[in-house]
Amino acid sequence: MRDIQLQSQEESFPQLPNHAFNQIFAERYGVHEAILIGYFQDCINTHKLNERNFKEGRTWTCQTRREIASYLHYFSENQVRIITAKLVKKGVLIKVYFNKSSSDRALSYAFVDEKMFTDVDLEFKKINKKEKGRNKNNRPAFKTI
């Protein structure tokens, strides 16, 4: 077994977001696929919360493989292509081009079964989002100058 040397106290690790995955999705689809499912869940839930990117009865996220790989920096663009292709083949994702320009290579992704993969607390979050900025009498809160 190799000895692992720890960094000195002065050196620190960069502050990167934590990434996690759902165990059930990992068992059913694979660990890499579960990581990407979690990534798309975050993107699509954000769009749903903000009521954006709703087309053809689904909520979509539009990104290039490079953009996805830069966020999930442990995956290359090629790995993103392979993993998304597997998720399409397994019936988890749909991917299409909604682009107006032929030079735009961003793909749009949506879940085949959006209810299964998106946030169940979304309605509660929408209510809380609307209530932010309101006072206790449910009136818009104004800042005095």
Cβ 83 vs Cβ 33: under 8 Å:
yes
- Please give the structure tokens belonging to residue 66: 């490079």
Q: What is the pTM of this model?
A: 0.72
Set out the domains of the chain in order of their start, with CATH numbers: 23-131 (1.10.10)
| pLDDT on residue 12 | 63
| pLDDT on residue 142 | 44
| pLDDT on residue 121 | 61
Going along the chain, which residue ranges are E strands? 54-55, 58-59, 61-63, 93-96, 107-111
| pLDDT on residue 145 | 45
| pLDDT on residue 98 | 76
3-state helix, strand, coil in the chain (%, to 5): 40, 10, 45
State the first-to-last Cα distance of the chain, in angstroms, to the nearest integer: 66
Give the residue ranges of the chain where pLDDT is below 50: 1-3, 140-145
- Please give the structure tokens belonging to residue 43: 């993107």
- Please give the structure tokens belonging to residue 118: 């998106």
| pLDDT on residue 130 | 58
20: closest CA among 5, 35, 1, 33? 35
| pLDDT on residue 18 | 77
Helix 77-89 with 31-49: angle, nearest 10 deg: 80
